[in-house]
């Protein structure tokens, strides 16, 4: 697709992979809006990278509808939705509460569902669109202490496959991205801090891969891809 002047909406865009994706799209000439729940940090990021911003919780049906509607109202259309918002929880099964599981699913599973539903209506009407869902290599293989997080990404992967099959006939490309370990604050917030290392992935590698996938002519697309560090040992 042509990236210049494309209109993109990136959820969870204030830091980490979301911010890197927003920056990469802006560098290509796209008009980008980022969303997040915390206004001060969201506004600071938006001002820093030259994006628009909307305070919204992806797990709220009202916020999801409002986010998509506001972008369309400003630009006349939406070209790209990036479902990036999400968080991790790394705990043993016996220590994970139902409340923790439900809260994580509200963001990691119900959030992409709500955003995709709103964007898909618009994409179907236009007869084109791009949907990028950020999953994880945890969507490919479960691990101990990852009941909540890995299962949420397995769910996102399954939904992506359904949306891809459903929306292809409307010229909508639905792609899943599985990052391996990326040096952000994600792991520390999930309860499993990592030591920074130059041989591990940075958010920029994920963003560059996404831009490359989007630039493929719209007659074809990459349904799913994973990004690993070359030598993380």
Sign of the CA dihedral with 145 first, then 176, 207, and 68 last: negative
Element (H, E) at 164: helix 147-167
Closest alpha carbon to 227 in 109, 152, 139: 139
> Which residues sit opposite 175 in a β-bridge?
132
Helices (H) and strands (E) in the chain, counts: 8, 7
3-class DSSP state of 210:
helix
| Catalytic residue status for 105 | no
How far apart, in whole angstroms, are the C-alpha atoms of residue 229 and residue 233? 9
Dihedral over alpha carbons 7, 11, 14, 19 (to 10 degrees): -60
Q: Which residue of the set 110, 113, 123, 149 is catalytic? A: 149
3-state secondary structure of 39: helix
For residue 101, the surrounding DSSP H or E stretch is helix 98-108
Residue positions annotated with a catalytic role: 149
């Amino acid at each position: 697709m042509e990236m210049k002047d494309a209109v993109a909406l990136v959820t969870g865009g204030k830091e980490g992979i979301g911010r890197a994706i927003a920056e990469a799209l802006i560098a290509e000439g796209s008009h980008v809006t980022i969303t997040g729940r915390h206004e001060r940090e969201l506004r600071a990021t938006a001002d820093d990278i030259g994006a628009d911003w909307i305070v919204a919780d992806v797990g709220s049906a009202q916020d999801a509808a409002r986010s998509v509607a506001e972008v369309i109202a400003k630009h006349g259309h939406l070209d790209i939705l990036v479902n990036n918002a999400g968080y991790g929880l790394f705990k043993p099964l016996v220590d994970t509460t139902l409340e923790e599981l439900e809260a994580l699913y509200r963001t990691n599973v119900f959030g992409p569902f709500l955003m995709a539903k709103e964007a898909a209506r618009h994409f179907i009407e236009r007869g084109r669109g791009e949907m990028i869902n950020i999953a994880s290599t945890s969507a490919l293989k479960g691990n101990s202490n990852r009941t909540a997080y890995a299962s949420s990404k397995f769910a996102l992967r399954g939904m992506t496959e359904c949306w891809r099959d459903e929306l292809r006939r409307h010229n909508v490309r639905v792609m899943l991205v599985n990052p391996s370990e990326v040096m952000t604050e994600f792991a520390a917030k999930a309860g499993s801090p990592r030591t920074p290392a130059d041989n591990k992935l940075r958010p920029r590698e994920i963003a560059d891969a996404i831009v490359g996938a989007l630039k493929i002519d719209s007659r074809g697309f990459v349904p799913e891809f994973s990004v690993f560090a070359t030598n993380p040992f």
